[in-house]
Amino acid sequence: MNPVASFPYVYFLGVGGIGMSALARWFAANGHQVSGYDKTSTPLTQALEAEGITIHYDDAVTSIPAVVRENREQTLVVLTPAIPKNHQEWAWLRAEGYDIRKRSQVLGVLTQGRRTIAVAGTHGKTTTSSMVAHLLHHSGVNCAAFLGGISVNLGSNLLLPAAGPDADKVPVVVEADEYDRSFLTLRPTVAIVTSTDADHLDIYGDKEALVESFRQFVRQIEPGGTLIINHTADESVAAAAPAGVTVVRYGLTASQGPELYAASISAQGHQFHFDLHSAQAVVSNLELAVPGYHNVENMLAAAYVALLHGVEPAMLREAVAAYRGVKRRFEFVVTTQNNIYVDDYAHHPREIEAFLRSLRALYPQKRLRVIFQPHLFSRTRDFAAGFAESLSIADEVRLLDIYPARELPIDGVSSEIIFHDITSPSKLLQTKEEVVRDAQTDTSFDVLATVGAGDIDQLVPRLKNILQNRWNGSEA
């Protein structure tokens, strides 16, 4: 029996994390009694509770369910790296000798011996992995998926395989997270690497150490497997692929030199139309309803995986057209004839640049306001200049305080180190309440974007309500 599947009780420290919640759902769906702790109640934890998972929000040993406290040998504890080292429950569980494993370790065990399709990269991996899962599922390929976002098509971050005697042998799609070198627990059959840009320097120290972790990830591809890698990735990563592994580079155009590329790209409303070209096949007239040139690039890699799994061009065309994206990835919140409100999870300068340039391409004549919440003190420190440059694409920038997540403050690091170098005509440092107040009275912008990976999503329903009422009223 699978060594983690043998535990009747599973307790999650940080159950509300997007990757953790997918695992929690998997264990619950497979008959385990699941419970957990998280810092705050969110729509995601509320959904887990509605699905029968017991969750509490205070760090107290007495709040751990009795069935966990009384059954040490039969309980698996799953830990997220976001849990602080001084966490009382974690300390007690360690002292009591519980079997405690990181989320990545559990995912590595669950995928062991399976045909694993692992999507890695410092940005783009959530969207690309959701695309792979959708294309296979929509095309009738039985598969499982653990995703780092809520797929709009699936309505979840977990895809369970269709029941049957071979359900434990179907391909499994996983988002392979480079943070804390988590993806090194995986041995993929097919690997996608979307990017190797510098990030998580609080863990790696410098970019070379990060790139080395990607080289190690690629070295773990199973014999006879496939590496699909963005042409902008560090060349040494592709070179690290073991002998016998097929390497396919991808990019937007043939002029960039990849074997897998798009042709005849055009934006028509929110849709992007393009043809896929590869050595194996040409698939014409693909229609992608999720906008952005970066999403065309992501879909190239995902579509190639579908072709590898026997999906015919006609079915692939239908599946691409049916893809509806991931929550908080280029998500259209309010759309009227003259005004747009979009929400996006981008939290790296390259992601922000790709997102804002795509918005500019869609709405070249409209005034664009961006509300951005930096994520992590260390990332703000390391990429302040890049953030300022990418945000300056907007006409107006509203900058919130840094969301600390797992970090303690760093001396001299605040949103101001980004703010000073932003060159947009209008820029302000604001609180969330000031942002909401301005949305009620300020009519200077046509397109609004909320951007960031922290708790900025809490603003979305409030801004949606304000802008729907104002914009729809103005068009009545």
Last residue of a domain, one of 81, 103, 125: 103
pLDDT at 285 (0 to 100): 95
At residue 240 the predicted structure's pLDDT band, cuts being 50, 70 and 90, is very high
Q: Tell me, what's the pLDDT at 2?
A: 64
Say whether both 314 and 339 belong to one domain.
no
Spatial contact of 227 and 238, defined as CB atoms under 8 Å apart: yes
What is the per-residue pLDDT for 204?
Answer: 62
On whether 366 is known to bind a ligand per the annotation, the reply is: no
18-29 helix and 103-111 helix, angle to the nearest 10 degrees: 50
For residue 328, is pLDDT > 70?
yes
Which one of 322, 343, 365 terminates a domain?
A: 322
Q: How many domains does the chain have?
A: 3
Q: Over pLDDT 90: what percentage of the chain? A: 74
Q: Does residue 409 carry a pLDDT above 50?
A: yes
What is the sign of the dihedral through the CA atoms of 421, 427, 433 and 439?
A: negative
* 159 and 307 within one domain: yes
User: Tokens at residue 323, please?
Assistant: 């893809």
Do 346 and 310 lie in one domain? The reply is: no
Q: Is 121 within any annotated ligand binding site? A: yes
Q: What percent of the chain has pLDDT over 70?
A: 97
pLDDT value at residue 408: 87
Whether the CA torsion 131, 135, 138, 144 is positive or negative: it is negative
Each residue of 297-307: pLDDT tens digit?
A: 999 999 999 99
pLDDT reading at 476 higher than 50: no
pLDDT of 242-294, one tens digit each?
Answer: 999 999 999 998 887 899 999 999 988 788 999 999 988 999 999 999 988 88
pTM for the full predicted model: 0.86
My answer on whether 145 and 285 are in the same domain is: yes
Kindly give, in sequence order, each residue whose CB lies less than 8 Å from that of residue 119, ignoring residues fewer than 6 positions away: 125, 128, 129, 132, 173, 174, 175, 176, 191, 192, 194, 301
Q: At what angle do helices 313-322 and 125-138 cross, to 10 degrees?
A: 120
- Is 189 marked within a binding site? no
For residue 178, tell me if it sits in a domain.
yes
- Tell me: the pLDDT tens digits for 86-112? 999 999 999 999 999 999 899 999 999
122 is in an annotated binding site: yes
Question: What pLDDT was estimated at residue 85?
Answer: 85
Residues 175-226: tens digit of each pLDDT: 988 777 888 999 999 999 999 876 655 676 678 888 999 999 999 999 999 9
Does the annotation flag 273 for ligand binding?
Answer: no
The answer to whether residues 315 and 442 belong to one domain is no
Residue 6 — pLDDT band, cuts 50, 70, 90? confident
Q: Phi and psi at residue 345, in whole multiples of 5°? A: -85, 0
49-73: per-residue pLDDT in tens? 999 999 999 999 999 999 999 999 9
Using a 10 angstrom Cβ sphere, with 0-12 exposed, 13-18 middle and 19 or more buried, the burial of residue 282 is exposed
* pLDDT recorded at residue 200: 58
- Asked whether residue 337 is assigned to any structural domain, the reply reads yes
Cα–Cα distance measured from residue 147 to residue 28, given in angstroms and rounded to the nearest whole number: 16
Please report which confidence band the pLDDT of residue 5 belongs to, taking 50, 70 and 90 as the band edges: confident
If you count them, how many residues does the chain have? 476
Domain span at residue 373 reads 331-474
Tell me: is residue 113 an annotated ligand-binding position. Answer: no
Kindly state whether residues 353 and 452 are assigned to the same domain: yes
* Residue predicted with more confidence, 420 or 169: 420
CATH number of the domain to which 422 belongs? 3.90.190.20
- pLDDT, one tens digit per residue, over 356-375 is 998 998 898 999 999 999 99
Q: Indicate whether 29 and 51 sit together in one domain.
A: yes
- Shared domain for 246 and 373, answered yes or no, is no
Q: Which of 42-51, 192-201, 329-338, 344-353 has the lowest mean pLDDT?
A: 192-201
Residue 126: band (very low, low, confident or very high) from pLDDT cuts 50, 70, 90 = very high
Residue range 10-34: average pLDDT? 95
Q: Is 124 part of any known ligand binding site?
A: yes
Do 59 and 122 have their domain in common? Answer: no
Domain boundary among 297, 322, 347: 322
Same domain (yes/no): 78, 171: no
**Per-residue pLDDT at 38 exceeds 80:** yes
